[in-house]
Structure formats: C-alpha cells, structure tokens
C-alpha cells in the first residue's frame, strides 16, 4: 500500500480553515490530504470526529528542581504520558540552570532523562540563572546553535532573578544569535515587601500568596521587560499572563509597535484568587505565580486570547504532590512563602479550552488550534515539522469526539500529582485517539507506545526573530554606537 496509515472521513481543522478529507501517512509524515484516498496498511475511521493538529505545550516543568529546591512530581515518562492523554504531542519543557550549574551539563542531563523516558516529541528551552561571561560569550550562543532557540529568565525568585543590567546583556546575546527571550515578569521587591509585612502580622495562609503577588507587581515588571527589549531592539515573550492590567500593558505596547508576544494558561481562565481561600493549607492547591486573579481578569484573558494579544495557551504545568515532598515542605505549618509555586495542567490544558472555549462559543475551532498548537510551532521554530495538518508535516494528530462528556477527577489523570485544581469540572469534548509521527500513542483510553520512543526536535529560529522588520534609522544608529549585533 501507498500509506502506512490513513485517517478517513474526519473533519480537519487547522489554524486557518476547516474541511473534510482523508489523511495519508507514510513513515511518520503526512504525504497526502484528499477525499477518497486508497486504503492504508492501517485504516482509522474518523467519522464524527474532529481531526486536529496535536497540541504543543511550550511551557511545562518536568523533572525539574524549582528555584526553591523542590522536585517536580512528574518525570519525562509520566509527564509525556499525561500530555498525550490530553491530546498534546509535543512539549517544550525547561533545561533549568541553577546558579552553580554549567549550562552544557544542564542541557546534557535533561537530554538524557528525556531520551530515556519521553513517549512524545520534545524540545527544550534553557532557564538561565547565571549569565556570567562564559555563559554570555560561549555557552548561550552554543546551545542556541544546537537548537535550543529560546530561553526563560526571571525578574523574581531570589535564586533565579536577574537584574535589569543582566536582562539587557541576555537580550543582546539573544538578539545576536536569534533566540527568543521568555520573561517571568513580576517585581521582586514589591512581592518581598508585601510578603514581609504580611508574615510579620501573622497572615501566613495560602490565600495571602495572591496578596503578595499583587497585579501591579506583574504589570510593572511586564512594562519594564518590554522597555528593556525595546531598548536593545529584540522581541520578548511574556509568559503566564494573569491580570487585566498586564494584558492592557501588552496590548498598548503592541499598538505602539513593540515586538512583544504573550502567553496565558488555564489557571488564569478558570481559577481565582478566592479559590485559595480554604481551611488550613488546602488553598495551596491553587497557588502559582503569578496567581489567578478575579472574574474581571478572567474576562480579560478570554478577550486577549480572542484578539491575539495572548497568542499562546500553555499549561505552565508545575506539578507538586500535596505533601512534604512537594507543595508543603513543612506540612501543615507551611506558610505561603514556603509553598511550592505551580499547578498541574499538562493533561487538561486542551480539554479545558476545548470545552470552555470552543463548545461554549467563545473561540472558534481554528482559534483553538492556533492557540494550542500552530502559534507555538511558529513562535518556537517548530513549524517545519509541527503545528499543522499539512503535506510534509509530522503526523501528529488528535481525534476529538466533541460529544464525549467527561467529569474531571484526579484519579483519571496520568500525572503523578495526586490532585487537580479542576476536580469536578464537567467537560464536553475529549481527544479519543492521539498520533505522534503516525504512531498511535493513545487509543481506547490506553497508552500504545513504550517509554523512550519520543524524539528530540532541534528547533529553528523563532518566527519573531526570523521575520524581524529592518531597524528604524534611529535604532540603527543606536545599535552601532553600543555595538548591538543582530542575527544575520
Ligand atoms: O508558579 C509557577 N508558575 N511555577 C512554575 C515556575 C514558573 O515560574 O513558571
Ligand atoms: Zn510504508
Ligand atoms: Zn515563570
Ligand atoms: Zn513556568
């Protein structure tokens, strides 16, 4: 037969259009899209199903030690299995440097872990915590050329944060080498000051985390990150946007011509600060940074996803078990300052957006595909293989049943967290069959592949860098004076 696999009679959606056709797959790649294709060696009938590009989750923490030294609950096996069951076929987690680590060692050790365990494809971003001379002049350029074409830096967390001078240094190298800077934008001193005053007064419960991480800490740092990036004329991506004020800052900056991109996550659509107001430490289950805000900010996130201000919808999966080994280092005596920051979301990211967004009429299916897959491929240099159902692309596909109803429980999920902040949510629509490079990964609610069968995908230059407009005259003169280089 001409095809290893055909997927027939499905309703296919890409980011630009929806149509009916069969998909012919050979050697893991889509080789034909047409009606009435001849039978493959294997034939899947997708009648009544929606065939979508597999999700790309470009923000998730797997097998990672946090800035506070706490270990994630998911390794590259449970993390990728969980992703696949939720319709995601590619992840871009972090190779996370702590200040004492050498960057090549960090990349080598994460690469080894993923190679042995991942069941779907993956790339890496670097987390850069120590931009010393060797990092800036040697290691950062090296890893970028090896396909790690984006890096995350922090404006808060004492063990990770860079000051503005360091951020400029990193941005200048990223601009010269063609990498995208992802920014965790929160004002460290505002948060430290509020937290200190709260703790002094005995306000230690989880709900005070959201008080300490005021929306102004987020919007101020976002504004500053954009100004720093504008100064050195490089694009910047603000990750995990939570608050309305931050969205307004980003929208205005874009209107004024800034190359600023932004991401949001399920927790900012569906959770609120008030969720962490529960007896004892129970509220810690909803604690992440920035924290979920209120109904008004949820509405602003929906609007931002709809109008393109927020082009990426990721999970920021930061999985911690609800005990001393994870969220609560001191058990019930843990204060909000000691709780591990982060919520799980790798498996439910797509089902939550499908149900709350597409099924409730807030987003079109094409917008859903853009936000969960296509835009990630473009933003992070994966569009040569991922993010669209197109001839020549990897056969990474999810077959969604829009009629399937699912009531969320922690027990049905495949991560190692043991709880979900979405317990009891009623969802409509579920990805019933998932394919990665033409291999069936999930069918009949069972995993169909072995550990270690996912592949590392070196990434190309992110589209915001590849497509950069030529410099304005004023910027050109400035760049020459201060010796800024741009990617060739
Ligand atoms: O609370 C969060 N988001 N934890 C994960 C680490 C990060 O900053 O993304
Ligand atoms: Zn063949
Ligand atoms: Zn972050
Ligand atoms: Zn994160």
Length of the chain: 488
Query: What pLDDT sits at residue 473?
Result: 78
Query: What pLDDT sits at residue 471?
Result: 72
Mutate to test the pocket of ligand 1, among 206, 288, 338, 343 (most ligand atoms within 8 A of CB): 288
102: which 2 tokens? 């050498």
Mutate to test the pocket of ligand 1, among 98, 153, 186, 240 (most ligand atoms within 8 A of CB): 240
Whether 318 is in the pocket of ligand 1, judged by its Cβ within 6 Å, is: yes
- Spacing, Cα 27 to ligand 2 middle (Å): 6
Query: What pLDDT sits at residue 466?
Result: 86
How does pLDDT run across 389-426, given as a tens digit for each residue? 999 999 999 999 999 999 999 999 999 999 999 999 99
- Spacing, Cα 343 to ligand 3 middle (Å): 12
Q: What is the ipTM of this complex?
A: 0.89
Query: Which listed ligand is nearest to 60 at the C-alpha?
Result: 4
Query: What pLDDT sits at residue 476?
Result: 87
Ligand 1 atom closest to 318 (CA) = 5
Query: Which listed ligand is nearest to 93 at the C-alpha?
Result: 4
Q: Parallel, antiparallel, or unpaired for β 55-60 and 29-34? A: unpaired
- Spacing, Cα 125 to ligand 4 middle (Å): 11
Query: Which listed ligand is nearest to 314 at the C-alpha?
Result: 4
Per-residue HEC secondary structure of the chain comes to: CCCCEEEEEEEEECCCCEEEEEEEEECCEEEEEECCCCCCCEEEECCCCEEEECEEEEEECCCCECCCCCECCCCHHHHHHHHHHCCEEEEEEEEECCCCCCHHHHHHHHHHHHHHHCCCEECCEEECCCCCHHHHHHHHHHHHHCCCCEEEEECCCCCCECCHHHHHHHHHHHHHHCCEEEEECCCHHHHHHHHHHHHHCCCCCCCHHHHHCCHHHHHHHHHHHHHHHHHCCCCEEECCCCCHHHHHHHHHHHHCCCCEEEEECHHHHHCCHHHHCCCCCHHHHHCCCCCCCCHHHHHHHHHHHHHCCCCEECCCECCCCCCCCCCCCCHHHCCCCCCCCCECCCCCHHHHHHHHHHCCCCCCHHHHHHHHHHHHHHHCCCCCCCCCCCCCCECCEEEEEEEEEEECCHHHCCCCCCCCCCCCCEEEEEEEEEEECCEEEEECCEECCCCCCCCECCCCCCHHHHCCCCCCHHHHHHHHHHCCCCCC
Whether 183 is in the pocket of ligand 1, judged by its Cβ within 6 Å, is: no
Ligand 1 atom closest to 289 (CA) = 1
Residue-level pLDDT, tens digit, the chain, 488 residues: 799 999 999 999 999 999 999 999 999 999 999 999 999 999 999 999 999 999 999 999 999 987 778 889 999 999 999 999 999 999 999 999 999 999 999 999 999 999 999 999 999 999 999 999 999 999 999 999 999 999 999 999 999 999 999 999 999 999 999 999 999 999 999 999 999 999 999 999 999 999 999 999 999 999 999 999 999 999 999 999 999 999 999 999 999 999 999 999 999 999 999 999 999 999 999 999 999 999 999 999 999 999 999 999 999 999 999 999 899 999 999 999 999 999 999 999 999 999 999 999 999 999 999 999 999 999 999 999 999 999 999 999 999 999 999 999 999 999 999 999 999 999 999 999 999 999 999 999 999 999 999 999 999 999 999 887 667 777 889 999 999 998 87
Mutate to test the pocket of ligand 1, among 61, 265, 276 (most ligand atoms within 8 A of CB): 61
Ligand 1 atom closest to 157 (CA) = 8
Whether 288 is in the pocket of ligand 1, judged by its Cβ within 6 Å, is: yes
Whether 316 is in the pocket of ligand 1, judged by its Cβ within 6 Å, is: yes
Query: What pLDDT sits at residue 475?
Result: 85
Q: HSE (CB half, 13 Å, CA atoms) of 161?
A: 15
- Spacing, Cα 396 to ligand 2 middle (Å): 17
Whether 264 is in the pocket of ligand 1, judged by its Cβ within 6 Å, is: no
Query: Which listed ligand is nearest to 287 at the C-alpha?
Result: 1
């Amino acid at each position: 037969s001409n095809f290893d696999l055909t997927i027939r009679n499905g309703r296919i959606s890409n980011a630009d259009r929806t149509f009916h056709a069969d998909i012919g797959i050979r050697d893991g790649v889509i080789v034909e899209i047409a009606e009435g294709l001849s039978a493959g060696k294997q034939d899947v009938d997708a009648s009544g199903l929606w065939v979508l590009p597999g999700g790309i989750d470009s923000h998730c923490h797997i097998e990672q030690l946090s800035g506070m030294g706490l270990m994630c609950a998911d390794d590259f096996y449970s993390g990728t299995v969980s992703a696949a069951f939720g319709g995601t076929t590619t992840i871009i987690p972090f190779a996370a440097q702590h200040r004492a680590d050498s960057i090549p060692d960090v990349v080598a050790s994460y690469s080894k872990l993923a190679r042995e365990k991942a069941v779907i494809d993956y790339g890496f971003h670097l987390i850069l915590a120590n931009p010393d001379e060797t990092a800036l002049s040697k290691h950062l350029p090296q890893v970028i050329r090896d396909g790690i074409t984006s890096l995350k830096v922090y404006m808060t967390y004492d063990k990770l944060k860079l000051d503005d001078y360091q951020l400029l240094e990193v941005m200048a190298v990223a601009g010269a080498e063609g990498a995208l800077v992802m920014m965790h934008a929160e004002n460290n001193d505002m948060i430290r000051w509020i937290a200190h005053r709260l703790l002094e007064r005995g306000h230690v419960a989880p709900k005070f985390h959201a008080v300490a991480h005021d929306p102004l800490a987020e919007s101020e740092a976002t504004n500053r990150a954009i100004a720093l990036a504008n100064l050195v004329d490089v694009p910047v991506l603000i990750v995990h946007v939570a608050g309305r004020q931050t969205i307004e800052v980003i929208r205005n900056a874009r209107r004024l011509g800034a190359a600023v991109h932004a991401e949001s996550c399920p927790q900012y659509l569906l959770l609120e600060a008030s969720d962490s107001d529960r007896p004892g430490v129970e509220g810690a289950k909803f604690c992440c940074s920035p924290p979920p805000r209120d109904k008004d900010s949820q509405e602003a996130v929906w609007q931002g996803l709809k109008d393109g201000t927020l082009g990426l919808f990721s999970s920021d999966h930061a999985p911690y078990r609800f005990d001393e080994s994870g969220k609560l280092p001191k058990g019930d005596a843990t204060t909000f300052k000691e709780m591990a920051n982060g919520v799980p979301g790798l498996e439910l990211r797509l089902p939550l957006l499908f149900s709350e967004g597409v099924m409730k009429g807030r987003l079109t299916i094409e917008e859903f595909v853009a936000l969960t897959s296509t835009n990630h491929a473009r933003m992070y240099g994966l569009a040569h293989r991922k993010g669209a159902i197109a001839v020549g692309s990897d056969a990474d596909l999810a077959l969604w049943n829009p009629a399937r109803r699912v009531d969320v429980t922690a027990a049905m999920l495949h991560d190692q967290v043991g709880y979900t902040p979405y317990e009891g949510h009623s969802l409509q629509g579920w990805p019933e069959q998932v394919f990665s490079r033409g291999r069936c990964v999930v069918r009949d609610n069972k995993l169909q592949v072995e550990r270690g069968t996912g592949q590392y995908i070196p990434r190309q230059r992110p589209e915001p860098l590849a497509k950069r407009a030529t410099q304005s005259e004023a910027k050109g003169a400035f760049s020459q004076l201060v010796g800024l280089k741009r990617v060739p």
